[in-house]
Amino acid sequence: MDYSQASMSRIFILKLQTGEIVHETLEGFAEKNNIKSAVCLFLGGAEDQSKLVVGPKDGNALPVEPVTALLKGVHEGCGVGTIFCDPQGKPKLHMHGSFGRNGDAVTGCMRAGVKVWFIGEVVLFELTGSSARREKDLKTGFEILETRQDSV
């Protein structure tokens, strides 16, 4: 296990607007406010036709081929994620969410494009003092968290 220690700094409460794409909005906010790392909580609705990455096509195949799910109809949802910068210093969100409608639910990574429907509440807890960042993994294509600190 690798780890990096951080401290909590500013806390932001965001009200997202209908049609905003969650990951684009949060990354843009982080960049504008010089947030290098954070924990984010999402609560709200997802528009019809929002997309989630729900897994790899084949968990043993490289490079990874993602499988996406298209939400049919407005869904209620919640999500939790982190923001860490890539090597160029650009904030990147990794958030998983669970969305339900009429007794059916789907869970996955929100990076494929979840659009807010009416309500999109986010609480963002800024973290400081850590060297943690995202780096591109050449085998998978994922932006992987790197802590570059002590190992246990």
Running along the chain, 152 residues long, what does each successive block of 10 average in pLDDT? Answer: 93 98 98 98 98 96 93 98 96 98 97 97 97 91 82 48
pLDDT at position 1: 87
How far is the C-alpha of 46 from the C-alpha of 139, rounded, in Å? Answer: 32
Query: Against a cut of 0.85, is the pTM above it?
Result: yes
pLDDT digits (tens, 9 = 90+) for 35-70: 999 999 999 999 999 999 999 999 999 988 999 999
Contact assessment for residue 37 and residue 6, using Cβ atoms and an 8 Å cutoff: yes
The half-sphere exposure of 3 on its side-chain side, counting CA atoms within 13 A, is 5
